[in-house]
Structure 1
Amino acid sequence: MSSNSLVGVKFLRRGESTPTSDSSSTDAVAAVEDKTVTLGKGRPTPSRREAEGRRRGPVAPAPKTAKEARARRKALRGTKEERKASSAERKADMNDRRSRMLAGEEQFLLPRDKGPVKKYVRDIVDARRNLLGLFMPLALVLILSMIVTPALQAIVTLATLVMMLFMIIEGVVLGRIVNKRVRERYPDTADSSLSLGWYAFVRASQVRRMRAPKPQVGPGDAV
């Protein structure tokens, strides 16, 4: 009697609520039917290395002997004419990039030389006749004279110290001039005074012909 009375009775699971009406049950079934179920691919997403490996094709088996390994390396290097042509092409490209860098083309400059502020600093330095540019040649002459005549060592040492003193003084003066003119023309620049002063000092201490990029103005030109 008790078993027959349970027929047709729906047992609720944990978390389920008792339906209040037939209309709410119908709405719930319709909502479930309207949902779009996105099924997974059923496989892991391939890594970048695997994808590139499939594009390149199967990998050649490893060489079994040293002779086979040498032959494979030789085949990968190409012929002597191909290697020579490739080397000549790389050399020509490097020379072209260097010539454009020396000419001052912005896209070929080193990061330290890029920007209108650095170009303006170079022009200020190149338009001046700096004693700093004579330091290296004079220092070389003094060292050679000391080697030839060791008796001049004391005089050479004193002359070197005097040159260094003048170099420091001119470097400080040049740094102040450069910073003043840069702040007037580019008041919003983010370069620090120390950075601009050191950049000007290093360029001024180089021989004019060895400066890179090459000077775009002559000594005495208005900048």
Structure 2
Amino acid sequence: MSIPRHPVPLGFVFRSRAKEEKATAAKAAVTDSKQPRDPQAPKGRPTPKRSEAQTPRRSVANTKLTRKDASKRQRDERRTAMERQRQALASGDERYLPARDKGPVRKFARDFVDSRFCIAEFFLPLAVIILVLSMVRVPQLQNIGMLLWLAVIVLIILDSVGLVIRLKKQLNARFPDQSKKGATAYALMRTLQMRRLRLPKPQVKRGERP
């Protein structure tokens, strides 16, 4: 026994399709409205996804420099670092000083030496005078030169020993929890340089407490 099929009106079919299209358009509008818009994006255009926005940046970051460009960049960076270091040696800026001069312990050691008169800083001028006296073919002047040489050596040793003792005492009192390794040798090397030739430049005057 066959069941009679009732024909579906064409108007009902068209109305169903129209409703489905309207529902799809409404869902798409709601989805677009929920997506945040980039403030830099032009109006009327959807905001690009994060992955799409980062793609140009990644491509730029991953772009390999040529060997010539890389060498030029390294030279510029070295030149900039050397210029900053030179200025820091003149001004005492701790940020760009060489590693051997950085730190509060080394700074105090420099100031401690620069605030004193050290016999060792006159070693080079005295050595020149003694050398000239030793070259003169006068026995008396040569003897004076030898005695002066011995006196300078003894005075430098005594002055250096006293400086080391006082410096260690000050460092232990001011920086009890910090490493003071090499600070006294650093100070002694600085005493051998004439004040105007010292680097970093002295930041304290003679007689001024560091």
TM-score (norm 1): 0.55
The 1-side partners of 2:119 and 2:103 are apart by 26
Taking only the aligned residue pairs, the percentage that are identical comes to: 35
Instruction: Provide structure 1 residue ranges, at least 5 long, that are not aligned to the other structure.
Output: 1-54, 60-75, 77-82
Corresponding residue of 1:208: 195
Match of 1:185 among 174, 185, 200: 174
When the two chains are superposed, the root-mean-square deviation of aligned CA atoms in Å is: 3.3
Match of 1:141 among 114, 119, 129: 129
Which runs of at least 4 in structure 1 moved beyond 4 Å after TM superposition? 55-59, 87-93
Aligned-partner residue type, residue 182 of structure 1: L
Corresponding residue of 1:18: none
Following superposition, the deviation at residue 167 of structure 1 comes to 0.4
* Equivalent pair of 1:122/1:203 in contact (CA under 8 Å): yes
The 1-side partners of 2:197 and 2:191 are apart by 11
Corresponding residue of 1:165: 154
Corresponding residue of 1:217: 204
Following superposition, the deviation at residue 88 of structure 1 comes to 11
- Please give the residue correspondences for 1:41-190 in structure 2 after superposition, counting only pairs within 5 Å: 94-149=82-137, 151=139, 152-190=141-179
* Equivalent pair of 1:175/1:196 in contact (CA under 8 Å): no
Q: Which deviations, in whole Å up to 9, do the C-alpha atoms of 1:49-108 show, x marking residues without a partner? A: xxxxxx65999xxxxxxxxxxxxxxxx7xxxxxx9xxx9998787445312222111232
Corresponding residue of 2:186: 199
Give the paired residue count: 144
Following superposition, the deviation at residue 222 of structure 1 comes to 2.0
The 1-side partners of 2:133 and 2:65 are apart by 68
Aligned-partner residue type, residue 222 of structure 1: R
Rate the CA distance shift 1:186–1:142 in 2: closer, same or farther, 3 A. Answer: same
Rate the CA distance shift 1:157–1:190 in 2: closer, same or farther, 3 A. Answer: same
Q: Which deviations, in whole Å up to 9, do the C-alpha atoms of 1:123-156 show, x marking residues without a partner? A: 1111112222112111112212333446433321
TM-score (norm 2): 0.58
Q: Which deviations, in whole Å up to 9, do the C-alpha atoms of 1:38-57 show, x marking residues without a partner? A: xxxxxxxxxxxxxxxxx659
The 2-side partners of 1:96 and 1:189 are apart by 27
The 2-side partners of 1:113 and 1:206 are apart by 15
Q: Which deviations, in whole Å up to 9, do the C-alpha atoms of 1:161-207 show, x marking residues without a partner? A: 21011101110100011010011010012224xx2222211111210
